[in-house]
């Protein structure tokens, strides 16, 4: 079960089936067995097109339409749902504020934006119909590490402000632990290896596979404190610095 108003992350190696699972939720891939329910109602009883329009969907680079402006990209689903173009454009402007983009970008085209800006436009489009559920399929895989970190923090902020039910797919376990209230680790064939909070999984890996996947078997997550002339830092087993303690957290 995926908890409402929380972020659930599907994480696993490439080809394990996490994107297929995600796309079953909005019937972009039709389930061949089992049952998927939203608010107690099977998705198979709903019109697939209307189902997809009621669920936000974000992918790498936002999946933007190259010949449409930012405004038209964000307004796509509201217009399809019968909202006037004027109202949809106003909604697009509001959502640029929400995702941290300047309104001056509204009439630009995707090729005129940076990778991070494109991704934020994709986030805005996913939110345009005010969906209760937001699906995010490896949205940050095509941006550089600095922009990726910024976008991760943006998702944390958006979830805190908007309180959506988010299902996020990634192959990066650190990203999964950062963003997920609940993390689902998948093996080949979309078999569930473990489900739990980041703390539960780190503290009690359910199998050798999970321990290996999260790096526990190699001591990758074994951390210790190290005092430097500039304060106390956290280092891993190889002595590489992973972070710094704030002054109030540092032991005397």
- SS3 readout for the chain: CCCCCCEEEEECCCCCCHHHHHHHHCCCCCCCCCCCEECCEEHHHCCHHHHHHCEEEEEHHHHCCCCCCHHHHHCHHHHHCCCCHHHHHHHHHHHHHHCCCCHHHCCCCHHHCCHHHHHHHHHHHHHCCCCCEEEEECCCCCCCHHHHHHHHHHHHHHHHHHCCEEEEEECCHHHHHHHCCEEEEEEHHHEEEEEECHHHHHHCCCCHHHHHHHCHHHCCCCCEEEEECCEEEEECCCCCEEEECCHHHCCC
pTM of the model: 0.87
Number of domains in the chain: 2
Mean model confidence pLDDT for the chain: 91
Confidence (pLDDT) at 216: 81
Report whether pLDDT(252) > 60.
Answer: no
Q: Are residues 147 and 206 in the same domain?
A: yes
Q: Are residues 148 and 226 in the same domain?
A: no
Q: Are residues 202 and 77 in the same domain?
A: yes
Confidence (pLDDT) at 227: 87
Identify the band that residue 225 occupies on the pLDDT scale cut at 50, 70 and 90.
confident
Q: Are residues 162 and 239 in the same domain?
A: no
Q: Are residues 153 and 191 in the same domain?
A: yes
Tell me the pLDDT tens digit for each residue of 95-114: 999 999 999 999 999 999 99
């Amino acid at each position: 079960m995926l908890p409402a108003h929380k972020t659930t992350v599907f994480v696993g190696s490439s080809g394990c089936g996490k994107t297929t699972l995600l796309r079953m939720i909005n019937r972009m891939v039709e389930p061949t067995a089992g049952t998927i329910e939203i608010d107690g109602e099977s998705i198979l009883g709903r019109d697939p097109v209307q189902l997809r329009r009621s669920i936000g969907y974000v992918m790498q680079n936002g999946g933007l339409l190259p010949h449409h402006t930012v405004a038209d990209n964000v307004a796509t689903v509201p217009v399809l749902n019968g909202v006037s173009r004027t109202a949809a454009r106003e909604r697009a402007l509001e959502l640029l504020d929400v995702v941290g983009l300047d309104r001056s970008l509204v009439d630009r085209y995707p090729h005129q934006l940076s990778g991070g800006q494109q991704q934020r436009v994709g986030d805005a489009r996913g939110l345009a119909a005010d969906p209760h559920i937001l699906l995010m399929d490896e949205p940050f895989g095509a941006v550089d590490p600095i922009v990726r970190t910024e976008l991760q923090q943006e998702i944390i902020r958006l979830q805190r402000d908007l309180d959506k039910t988010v299902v996020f797919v990634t192959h990066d376990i650190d990203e999964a632990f950062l963003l997920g209230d609940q993390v689902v680790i998948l093996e080949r064939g979309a078999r569930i290896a473990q489900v739990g909070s980041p703390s539960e999984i780190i503290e009690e890996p359910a199998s050798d596979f999970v321990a290996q996947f999260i790096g526990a078997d190699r001591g990758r997550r074994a951390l210790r404190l190290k005092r430097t002339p500039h304060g106390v830092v956290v280092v891993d087993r190889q002595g590489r610095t992973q972070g710094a303690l704030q002054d109030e957290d540092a032991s005397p």
